[in-house]
């Protein structure tokens, strides 16, 4: 082997080790994933749209949650800030938990949503 071959192999090993250390440090200091509270109302996922054309509106729906206990909003283009299927009737699907119990709410466009639902 020539000296240049050894140097380039050593440089490659050095850069590999630097990248491995940087990735390890990044993984070490990353924030742990948020764990939903076992009490109160937590929105896991919210999808808005028509048949196969849905958009993720989870963050928008979460912004309507008050004090971690109630959600009051309208399933509308204006409240959700998007119209994923212009001219079509849309639905809002909310996957949430209430005091740790998983639930799903599906409402048509224009419907007022209040969670938790009043018990009859």
pLDDT in tens, 26-80: 666 665 555 555 678 999 999 999 887 899 999 999 999 998 889 999 999 999 9
Alpha-carbon span 28 to 54, nearest angstrom: 35
Contact predicate 82/55, CB 8 Å? yes
What are 91-109's pLDDT values in tens digits? 999 999 998 899 999 999 9
Contact predicate 94/105, CB 8 Å? yes
User: Is beta strand 91-98 parallel, antiparallel or unpaired with respect to 70-74?
Assistant: unpaired
Q: What is the pTM (predicted TM-score) of this model?
A: 0.67
Closest CA to 96 of 77, 79, 73: 73
């Amino acid at each position: 082997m020539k000296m240049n071959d050894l140097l380039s192999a050593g440089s490659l090993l050095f850069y590999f080790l630097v990248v491995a250390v940087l990735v390890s440090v990044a993984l070490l200091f990353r924030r742990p994933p948020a764990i939903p509270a076992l009490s109160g109302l937590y929105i896991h996922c919210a999808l808005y749209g028509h048949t196969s054309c849905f958009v993720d509106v989870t963050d928008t729906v979460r912004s309507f949650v008050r004090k971690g206990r109630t959600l009051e909003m309208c399933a509308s283009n204006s409240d959700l800030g998007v119209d994923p299927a212009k001219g079509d009737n849309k639905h809002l699907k909310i996957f949430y938990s209430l005091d740790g119990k998983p639930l799903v709410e599906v409402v048509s466009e224009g419907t007022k949503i209040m969670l938790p639902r009043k018990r009859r």
